[in-house]
Amino acid sequence: MIVLTDLHLLPEGGRIIGLDPFGRVAAAIAHINAHHPDAERVIVTGDLTHRGDAASYERVRELLGRLVVPCSIMLGNHDDRDAFFTAFPGAPRDRNGFAQHVTTVGGYRLVMLDTIKDRSPAGTLCDRRLAWLDEALADRAPAIVFMHHPPHPTGFAGMDAIALDNGDAFHALAARAGNVRLVVAGHVHRTISGVYNGLPFAVFKSPVHQQPMVLDAGDTSLSVDEPGAYGILLLGERGVTVHTDDFALTTAAATY
């Protein structure tokens, strides 16, 4: 299974620190199609666009339509929920209209959450979304929970200030459920892994631009031109293995 995050697409001609998001995401998708056509699913964990505009969502549709494997799409703080559903009218939503759903791959329930907090770069899980999550985890099957905003500290001061604002509530619910095997997030534009409150997590880089490796930086708008990446999750009967592919650095395999 493949994880893409933080595409930040703009209308044609748009650039971020001089970089073309469309070209970089297109390269990531071409790499996935070439090297992982047998993947069960691609999950895109939000920030599909940079400004939540209709023109950018049309470009998201075009690029994701190139994938040769099924795709699940999530939202982040740079997205607009209404504009997203206009561009993707068939996208799943829960009974309260949030862009979240559950699918099953390899014996795991993949639970995809909508953490948008209106008019804020931070994220949240309101009572309705927490109740939905509680129901999604109720059957006790092993689960991987995907969300845009990390529900735990990452060590980046500025990004931690705009993470999920009620991470403790999420972790308390996950602990009660007892079947969450991994939490996957984006938002930070770095590759990060660890354990928080006994729960393993993985955060992945963007295919476009990255957070500078400066932990005490308070400015969340800082970006650097580093090779883009995507995550690879190998789902086994006894656990989950997490890889990351800095696809822009990938070369043909050597023969020994």
Residue at 122 is within a domain: yes
Whether the CB-CB separation of 57 and 63 falls below 8 Å is answered with: no
CATH number of the domain bearing residue 70: 3.60.21.10
For 5-61, the pLDDT digits (tens) are 999 999 999 999 999 999 999 999 999 999 999 999 999 999 999 999 999 999 999
Task: Give the list of residues 6+ apart from residue 82 with CB closer than 8 angstroms, or none.
Answer: none
For 215-252, the pLDDT digits (tens) are 998 988 889 999 999 999 999 999 999 999 999 887 54
- Per the prediction, the chain carries an average pLDDT of 95
Phi/psi of residue 26, each to 5°?
-60, -40
Residue at 97 is within a domain: yes
Residue at 58 is within a domain: yes
Residue at 14 is within a domain: yes
Element (H, E) at 4: strand 2-4
Predicted local distance difference test score (pLDDT) of residue 253: 44
For 115-146, the pLDDT digits (tens) are 999 989 999 999 999 999 999 999 889 999 99
Domain coverage including residue 54: 2-249
Phi/psi of residue 157, each to 5°?
-55, -50
Write out the two tokens for 235: 């789902």
Residue at 256 is within a domain: no
Predicted local distance difference test score (pLDDT) of residue 101: 98
Q: How many domains does the chain have?
A: 1
pTM for the full predicted model? 0.95
Strands (E), 129-250: 143-146, 180-185, 192-196, 199-203, 230-236, 239-245
Average pLDDT over residues 77-91: 97
Q: Looking at the predicted structure, is the pLDDT value of residue 254 above 90?
A: no
Residue at 176 is within a domain: yes
pLDDT-derived band at 256 (thresholds 50, 70, 90) equals very low
Residue at 254 is within a domain: no
Residue at 34 is within a domain: yes
For 68-77, the pLDDT digits (tens) are 999 999 999 9
Residues pairing with 234 in the sheet: 241
Whether the CB-CB separation of 246 and 190 falls below 8 Å is answered with: no
Query: Among residues 240, 231, 224, 132, which one has the least CA distance to residue 182?
Result: 240
Predicted local distance difference test score (pLDDT) of residue 20: 97
Whether the CB-CB separation of 144 and 40 falls below 8 Å is answered with: no
